[in-house]
């Protein structure tokens, strides 16, 4: 096989594979690691609670708080437990606008709901990304 012929076969393969790869990437959904971890807000025995109350995530991951009692448009409002907890306070929210927060710094974050401070208490443990 002469060199020019070989070259044109290679080029032909690239031209065929390129668009195929491009299409595959186009249709591939985002990686699971980037999907937010869901914490549900449920009504249990008359009290709103976080499920799960304690979660462990990897630095860079996001958490989304989703009220699943859609019949009750009760507002929630998440805030750090203390000034040393790296938690960005939310606005009032319900099932129509659940908040998401991304945690980039390893450590333990305590938070609670200002509307339901006795029962909606949670902890997020953020581990380093390379562990
Ligand atoms: Cu609440």
Q: How far apart are CA 99 and CA 97, in angstroms?
A: 6
Spans of the chain, pLDDT less than 50: 1-2, 6, 10-11, 14, 30-31
Q: How far apart are CA 82 and CA 76, in angstroms?
A: 18
The domain limits of the chain are: 1-30, 32-127
- For 6: left if phi > 0, alpha if psi spans -120 to 50, otherwise beta; the answer is alpha
pLDDT tens sequence across 79-102: 999 999 999 999 999 999 999 999
How far is ligand 1, taken at its centre, from the CA of residue 42, in Å?
Answer: 9
How far is ligand 1, taken at its centre, from the CA of residue 122, in Å?
Answer: 11
How far is ligand 1, taken at its centre, from the CA of residue 50, in Å?
Answer: 9
pLDDT tens sequence across 114-123: 999 999 999 9
How far is ligand 1, taken at its centre, from the CA of residue 101, in Å?
Answer: 16
pLDDT at 4: 53
- Per the prediction, the chain carries an average pLDDT of 84
CATH of domain 32-127: 2.60.40.420
How far is ligand 1, taken at its centre, from the CA of residue 39, in Å?
Answer: 12
């Amino acid at each position: 096989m002469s060199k020019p012929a070989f070259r044109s076969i290679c080029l032909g393969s690239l031209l065929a594979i390129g668009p195929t790869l491009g299409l595959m990437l186009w249709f591939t959904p985002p990686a699971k690691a980037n999907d937010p971890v869901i914490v549900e807000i449920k009504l249990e025995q008359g009290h709103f609670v976080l499920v799960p109350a304690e979660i462990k995530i990897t630095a860079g991951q996001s958490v989304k708080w989703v009220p699943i009692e859609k019949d009750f448009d009760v507002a929630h409002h998440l805030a750090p437990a203390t000034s040393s907890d790296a938690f960005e306070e939310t606005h009032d929210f319900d099932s129509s606008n659940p908040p998401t927060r991304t945690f980039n710094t390893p450590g333990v974050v305590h938070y609670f709901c200002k509307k339901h401070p006795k029962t909606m208490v949670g902890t997020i443990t953020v581990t380093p990304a390379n562990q």
